[in-house]
Amino acid sequence: MTTKIRLLALCLAAFGLSPACFAAADFAIVNARIDTQNDWAPWAHALAVSGEKIVYVGEPAGEDWKALIGPTTKIYDLQGRLVLPGLIDSHTHPGLVTLSSWHTILPWTMDPHEQLRFLADWAKAHPDRPVIDAELYPTQMFGSSGPTRQLIDQYLPDRAVIWEDFSGHSVALNSKALKLMGIDRDTRDPEPGVRYFVRDAKGEPTGWAKENAHEDFLPRLFKAAKWSPPAKVSPDSLAKILDFLTENGVTAVFDARTEDGTFEALAQLERQNRLNLYYEGSVLLQSRMELESRLDLLRDWQRRYGSRHVRVNTLKLFMDGTNELSTSSLLEPFANDPTRRVEPRMSKNDLVSTLVTMNARDVDLHIHMTGDRTFRTALDAVEEARRRLGAQWRIQVTFAHCELISDQDFARVAPLGVILDWTPHWSGGYFQGVKQTLGERRADDLYRFQPVITLGGTVTFSSDTVTLYEWPRANPFFGMQIAHTRFDVEPRYQAYGMKRPASEMLQLPDLVRGYTRNGAQQLRMTNIMGSLEPGKLANFVVLNQNLFEVPVERIHDTTPTAVVFEGRVLKGTL
C-alpha cells in the first residue's frame, strides 16, 4: 500500500472526507514514553495531532510519519516523559461539592467535645447564621450507640446544627434542628431500617439520622429558620471544582447523582466554551415504583441539556447503605447486632423488571452497594435479565463500591459483563468503624478487586468526593498511591496502618487502565477516548515523573506538566 493510500485510509477513519485531512499535522510530540492503552501497540514514542484528533501514534520514522510532518508542524521533544490518555473519574459529585461551600470544616480529632467547642466558637464569630452544617465527625467516634442531640445542646442549644459523620451517610441533629424540622416521636422514618431516625427507649429521636433520613425535612428547616444556604450550582463555582480535576489530568467524569441545577450550570459553561471535559450525569432512582417518572425526567434532561460535552443516560440506584452504619445488606449477621437484617432496597424480581424496562429504553444503570448480599442479589438479577432478553440485552450495568464480595461471586462478574467501580483513595485507613459492625474477619475481606481483575472483569476508578472537605483527594494520582499500597497518604489516617490483606494491593498498570480505557467503556465513549489511537480525540496528559518507576510513596506527587483536551493545551506546556 502506498503512503498516499495509507494516509487516505487514516483520514477517512479519522475525519471523513474533510480536505483538512490532507494537511500536515498541527503538532507532534516525540521522545515520549506513551502508554497508549491499545493492546495491539501498548507503547509508542511519538504522536501527531491535527485539529482535535490524533492522526498518528507510533515511532517518529517511516513514510507515514514523514507524510504528516510538514513545515508548519510544531514538534515538541518531551525528553522521555510519560504520557497517558486523559483520565476519567467514573463516579464523583461536583455539584454536591459546590453546594457544600457553606459548611463549617471541623478539626480532625476523636474527641467530640473538641469539635463541638470549635463549633461553638465558630458560631459566636458568625452570629447571623441560624443553621450550621458542620463536617465531619469520625464515624467510629461514638461506636454503635451513636451521637445524641443532648451532646450538641451542651454547646449550641439555640442554633440548628447538622453535624455530619465521616461516611457521608448520617448526621447528628441537635434539639433545635429537630424542632424546626418537625421531627418527633410521631415522625415516620423515610425507609424503616435503612433511612431512619434512631430513637431512645421512649421512642424519642436521639438526633442520629442514618442514611441522611433528615434530607426530606431540610426545606421545612430553612423555611422555619427564615434562611437558606446556596441552593443552586452556579457556573463559576462549578468551574472552579471542575478546574481542579482538569489540572490533574481528568478529561471526563460521571456524576453519580446529578441535580437539575448542575445541568443548568454545565449548559452555561458549554455555551461559554468553558467546559473542558466530558460530563456524564445521572438521575436518582429510589424505587421500582418511580421508574417511569425517572425515565421521563432523564429524557427531559437529555432534551434540555444534552450537548457535545454533556450527556445523561444513566439511572443511579442505592441498593443498600454503608457497612459502618449497619445499613448494608449482608449474607451473614452483623457482628454487633446478630438480630438485625437489612434487605436490599430493591428485590431481585423488582431489579430484573427494572433492568428489562431500562433495556427497552436504552438507559444504563449505576448501582450503589456495599454489602455482599446486595452484590449477589444484583448479580442474580443481571443474570436473570440477560437470560430473558438474550441477544436483545444491550444496556450497561455498573456496580459502585462493592466493598464486601463473597468468594463465590468473583468469577461471575466478567461473564455477566458487569463493570465494578471503586474509589482508590478509600483503600487505606480512610474509613473506620467497620470492625465493630462486621467483625475482624470480614473487615479484612473488604476492598478486594484483584480477583475480579485477574478473572477478566472490568474495574473503573473514581473519587466519589461529595464535599469541599475531601475535594483535594479527588486527585487520581493520590488515589493510585493509596490503592497500590493500601496505606493512606495523609498522616491523620496513616495511624490506622495498612489495610489488609497485602495481596489486594492494586497494580499500577491496572489502575491506569481503570482510569482510562475502562472508564471510557463505562461512559460508552471508547470510540472517542480512553486510549491514544488515530481517529480518537487528542486527550492526553504529560506527567512530571514516571509513576511506574518512582518510589511508591512518591506516586501521589505525580502531576501533569501538560493537559491536552481536544488538541488544545489546557494546562502547562508541551
Contact present, 55 and 69 (Cβ < 8 Å)? no
Contact present, 574 and 78 (Cβ < 8 Å)? yes
Confidence of residue 516 (pLDDT cuts 50, 70, 90): very high
The answer for residues whose C-beta is within 8 angstroms of residue 379's C-beta and 6 or more apart is 409, 412, 413, 416, 418
- For the chain, domains (ranges, CATH) are 1-85+530-574 (2.30.40.10), 130-225 (3.10.310), 233-529 (3.20.20.140)
In this structure, how many other beta carbons lie within 10 angstroms of the beta carbon of residue 55? 26
User: What percent of the chain shows pLDDT beyond 90?
Assistant: 92
Confidence of residue 518 (pLDDT cuts 50, 70, 90): very high
Closest CA to 448 of 426, 430, 466: 426
Tell me which amino acid residue 73 is. T
Residue-wise pLDDT tens digits, 111-159: 999 999 999 999 999 999 999 999 999 988 998 889 999 999 999 999 9
Positive or negative, the CA dihedral 424, 429, 432, 436 is positive
pLDDT value at 7 more than 70: no
Closest CA to 288 of 341, 345, 362, 343: 345
C-alpha triplet 32, 33, 38: angle, nearest 5°: 120
pLDDT value at 419 more than 50: yes
Residue-wise pLDDT tens digits, 425-445: 999 999 999 999 999 999 999
Contact present, 35 and 84 (Cβ < 8 Å)? yes
Give one word for 566, left, alpha or beta, with left for phi > 0 and alpha for psi -120 to 50.
left
Contact present, 323 and 446 (Cβ < 8 Å)? yes
Maximum distance among all Cα pairs of the chain, rounded to whole angstroms: 86
Residue-wise pLDDT tens digits, 295-313: 999 999 999 999 999 999 9
Residue-wise pLDDT tens digits, 359-369: 999 999 999 99
Q: What per-residue confidence (pLDDT) applies to 22?
A: 47
SS3 assignment, position 551:
coil
Q: What gap in Å lies between CA 101 and CA 111, rounded to an integer?
A: 25
pLDDT value at 550 more than 70: yes
Q: At residue 526, what are phi and psi to the nearest 5 degrees? A: -65, -20
Tell me which amino acid residue 362 is. D
Q: What per-residue confidence (pLDDT) applies to 444?
A: 95
> What value does the mean pLDDT of the chain take?
94
Q: What gap in Å lies between CA 526 and CA 242, rounded to an integer?
A: 22
Contact present, 123 and 129 (Cβ < 8 Å)? yes
The C-alpha cell at 166 is: 465521616
Q: Which secondary-structure segment (H or E) carries 5?
A: helix 3-15
In this structure, how many other beta carbons lie within 10 angstroms of the beta carbon of residue 563? 26
Q: What per-residue confidence (pLDDT) applies to 259?
A: 82
Assign 3-class secondary structure to 296-343.
Answer: HHHHHHHHHHCCCCEEEEEEEEECCCCCCCCCCCCCCCCCCCCCCCCC
pLDDT value at 11 more than 70: no
Q: What gap in Å lies between CA 178 and CA 224, rounded to an integer?
A: 11
